[in-house]
Amino acid sequence: MRRVLLATGNKFKLNQMQFVADYYKIPVRVVSARDIFGALAKYEKIGETPEQVALRGAKIIYGKIKRPIVTEETFLKVKALNGFPGLKSIEFVKKKGRKALLAMMEGEKNRKATLESVCVFINEKGKVKKFKHKINGVITEKERWIKGPLWVSPEEEEWGGWYNAVFQPEGSKKTLAEMTAEELIKWGYREGSFAKALKHIHKEPDPEL
């Protein structure tokens, strides 16, 4: 089975990408590049957009390991907060939590927000491909979720599911964290970019064969 190296130490993101692969019956095994290459598969998050951060990271890692690599970055941008947390999205939710975001939004009528995920894949020849998926929605007034996988719901981990419990996409009456993993194939943000990347990778020759 083909191995896909994802540059992350986040087991939830690994499981999420594997779920997407399994859902579409794409025969790959998603593996943490950090588990294999250690610090060589790490990169500093620098950039003004998720595309810039993911592209820079992929190029840095590929330059070190010379193996096909996937990076993924997601920004939450809240309109009333002038695009915050943006680059600070992961740091903010881990250190401050979703409740801190809700506190910042207290009394705010304009609750529009976007979640944009970008995957960058560099193949064995160094060719770069980018895969983007963005969803629009609103920040809810309180957290709402059901029990589900840790990349969906904060049921078992306080920051599990990232901003899912406070983000309600356009056209839905549910927050992302009130949906099942299967429903998120349609509504989610990483699911969209992961699916595009995996379908492309599956069509390319496997360099390990």
Question: Can you give the residue ranges of every domain in the chain?
Answer: 2-203
165 exposure class (CB count in 10 Å sphere: 0-12, 13-18, 19+) = buried
- Per-residue model confidence as pLDDT tens digits over 112-139: 999 999 999 999 999 999 999 999 999 9
| Confidence band of 209 (pLDDT split at 50, 70, 90) | low
Closest C-alpha among 101, 160, 99, 163 to residue 137: 163
Task: Please tell me the CATH code under which domain 2-203 is placed.
Answer: 3.90.950.10
pTM of the predicted structure, to 2 decimals: 0.94
CA-to-CA dists, residue 147 to 92, 151, 157, angstroms: 23, 11, 11
Host H or E run for residue 22: helix 11-23
pLDDT at 208 over 80: no
What are the helix and strand counts (H, E) for the chain?
7, 6
Task: Name the least confident of 7-16, 18-27, 152-161, 195-204.
Answer: 152-161
187: CB partners within 8 A, 6+ apart = 135, 169, 172, 176, 179
The mean of the pLDDT values for the chain is: 94
Residue 30: the pLDDT is 97
